[in-house]
Amino acid sequence: MSGCIEFVLNGAPRRLSPGTRPGQTLLEWLRGPEARLTGTKEGCAEGDCGACTVVVEEPDGGRTPVNACLALLGQMHGRAFRTVEGLRGEDGGPHPVQRVMAEADATQCGFCTPGIVMSAWAHPRASEGQGGAHEALAGNLCRCTGYRPILDAFAALEDDGVAAPQAGLSSGHFSAEGQAFHLPASLAELLDLRAAFPDAWLLAGGTDLGLRVSEHREVPGRILCLSAVPELARVERNGEALSIGAAVTYGRLLRVMEGDAAFASLAALLRRLGSRQIRGMGTLGGNLGTASPIGDGLPPLLALGARIALASAARGERVVEADSFFTGYRKTLLQADEIITRIELRRPPPGSLFVCEKLSKRHDQDISTVSAAFLVRVAEGRVAEARLAFGGMAATPVRARHAEACLTGGELTEAMFEAAARALADDVAPLSDWRGSADYRLSGARGLLRRLYWRAARPDLSLEVHAP
């Protein structure tokens, strides 16, 4: 079945030898004997430090930073991407990004510097100042320089405009050294492969699965990758509903959400999901597939009453309510031969308040201790609808039905929200772990409900700690 992995690397087409293992990490290949591009570093091997950042050059001219320690080599087929060795100034000397980093004294031991340079090169709005730079840098750690000179370097960057369009994704099938990697070209082909290989790894962005290779050193036998299936890459609007393909990256989703005021709070939450590198690869379908109780994308789906489409070759499509999708700790309704194809999201109804919250130890690039999403509709001073969803408070993401019952039909008063906060103890059973004790989680979740009251009753108050 095997073809060769092909991509455009640093502007030059590359066709890899047929014996190249497709399920190794991109980082392993880049630093190995075939490429010898050792400017891309391995720091943490788990997507946190950004030393391995390379930049995908998109078909629309955009630039997407990704973690080479998480991306698998087969995922790069058909794409164009650049490593730090591929940046040059017009005179053949250092690229302007490298020049400003040196001039701002923004490097000491230099280990993090290639990754930071790549994040800076991918930063689309250099002219937007430090807010934008903070977001661009959230996926890069530096242990010695301190961030002030690095931010100075970012501030000195000049926007180098929109790049020329580059290669896009394409399908293919590769195998070597007992490893098979499939990039099917259609949903029908993917479903047939899933039916034939129910034990194969189903790979969307790989920001969860990639850790099994880079951190846990597992060697997958067969991988079915979703990224070249056009049906899974669509975002469609149908009136007040949004249909999101399961393989749409957070980065793309964020651009859709940013253009719609009704989803402003969800967009702000997505900006805190991982880093730009993680959002460049990770997907909502993968968040559902992992089904972690602290998946940030999941409480908003519960609060908005999302529906999830599942498909198999044998039984076709079924659409289930997000409410019933999670059946236990990291367990879902998904059968072995099924895949998640899309998520149907209704826009918050006009006049409703839709809020997403995340409590974590760090503002950026951190996993939630508690997350929440609330939809509240008030009519004539009474709460006509309340959907309160929490993450990190039970074995699955959950609706707080007792707390909802306290609010629904009642007047919009602080006492009602206080009663809902008390009732929360009947809805959740938080654990204690290193992110927070059970008491901390319950107090934090109650605090979010109290803040919800103030958001609903006094929309004129600014309750944000960090500017959105």
> Cβ 452 to ligand FES, closest distance in Å?
35
If contact means CB under 5 to 8 A according to the sort of partner, which of ligand FES, ligand FAD, none does residue 52 touch? ligand FES
Question: In this complex, which beta carbon is closest to ligand FES, that of residue 104 or of residue 406?
Answer: 104
If contact means CB under 5 to 8 A according to the sort of partner, which of ligand FES, ligand FAD, none does residue 204 touch? ligand FAD
If contact means CB under 5 to 8 A according to the sort of partner, which of ligand FAD, ligand FES, none does residue 367 touch? ligand FAD
Where does this chain touch ligand FAD (CB under 6 A) — which range of 113-121, 126-134, 153-161, 281-289?
Answer: 281-289
If contact means CB under 5 to 8 A according to the sort of partner, which of ligand FAD, ligand FES, none does residue 206 touch? ligand FAD
Question: In this complex, which beta carbon is closest to ligand FES, that of residue 40 or of residue 283?
Answer: 40
Among 23, 47, 62, 251, binds ligand FAD (CB under 6 A): 47
204 near ligand FAD (CB under 6 A): yes
Among 97, 117, 246, 356, binds ligand FAD (CB under 6 A): 246
Question: In this complex, which beta carbon is closest to ligand FES, that of residue 113 or of residue 352?
Answer: 113
Distances in Å between the alpha carbon of 388 and those of 361, 371, 384, 427, 448? 23, 11, 13, 11, 10
Structure tokens at 376: 């509240």
Question: In this complex, which beta carbon is closest to ligand FAD, that of residue 73 or of residue 204?
Answer: 204
**What are the residues whose beta carbons fall under 8 Å from the beta carbon of 451, sequence distance 6 or more?**
357, 463
> Cβ 186 to ligand FES, closest distance in Å?
32
Whether 356 and 372 have beta carbons less than 8 Å apart is answered as yes
Whether 8 and 163 have beta carbons less than 8 Å apart is answered as no
Measured between alpha carbons, how far is 366 from 141 in angstroms, rounded to an integer?
A: 13
Q: What is the size of the binding site for ligand FES (CB under 6 A)?
A: 23
- The neighbour count for residue 197, using CB atoms within 10 Å, is 17
Alpha helix stretches (DSSP H) within 123-183: 130-137, 147-155
Whether 194 and 338 have beta carbons less than 8 Å apart is answered as yes
Question: In this complex, which beta carbon is closest to ligand FES, that of residue 113 or of residue 249?
Answer: 113
Q: Identify residues 115-154 at the interface with ligand FES (CB under 6 A).
A: 142-145
Question: In this complex, which beta carbon is closest to ligand FAD, that of residue 166 or of residue 249?
Answer: 249
Rg (CA), the chain: 23
25 near ligand FES (CB under 6 A): no
Q: Identify residues 340-369 at the interface with ligand FAD (CB under 6 A).
A: 340, 367
Structure tokens at 299: 């409480």
Distances in Å between the alpha carbon of 98 and those of 135, 137, 140, 430, 454? 19, 15, 16, 47, 47
If contact means CB under 5 to 8 A according to the sort of partner, which of ligand FAD, ligand FES, none does residue 108 touch? ligand FES
Where does this chain touch ligand FAD (CB under 6 A) — which range of 87-95, 96-104, 127-135, 277-285?
Answer: 277-285
Termini Cα distance of the chain: 49
Measured between alpha carbons, how far is 112 from 142 in angstroms, rounded to an integer?
A: 6
Q: Identify residues 246-305 at the interface with ligand FES (CB under 6 A).
A: none
Question: In this complex, which beta carbon is closest to ligand FES, that of residue 184 or of residue 280?
Answer: 280
Distances in Å between the alpha carbon of 349 and those of 107, 294, 406, 455? 49, 26, 21, 17
Whether 294 and 391 have beta carbons less than 8 Å apart is answered as yes
Strand ranges of the sheet holding 352-359, from the earlier edge strand across to the other edge: 352-359, 370-379, 382-391, 398-399
Pairing of strands 370-379, 352-359: antiparallel
274 near ligand FAD (CB under 6 A): yes
Among 58, 296, 357, 427, binds ligand FAD (CB under 6 A): 296
Question: In this complex, which beta carbon is closest to ligand FAD, that of residue 35 or of residue 190?
Answer: 190
207 near ligand FAD (CB under 6 A): yes
If contact means CB under 5 to 8 A according to the sort of partner, which of ligand FES, ligand FAD, none does residue 207 touch? ligand FAD
Phi and psi, residue 413, nearest 5°: -125, 160
Measured between alpha carbons, how far is 233 from 103 in angstroms, rounded to an integer?
A: 41
Question: In this complex, which beta carbon is closest to ligand FAD, that of residue 334 or of residue 416?
Answer: 334
Burial of 338 (0-12, 13-18, 19+ CB in 10 A): buried
The residues binding ligand FES (CB under 6 A) are 42-45, 47-52, 67, 69, 107-113, 142-145
Summarize as ranges the residues that interact with ligand FAD (CB under 6 A).
46-48, 202-209, 211, 226, 246, 273-274, 278, 281-283, 285-287, 289-290, 295-297, 334, 339-340, 367
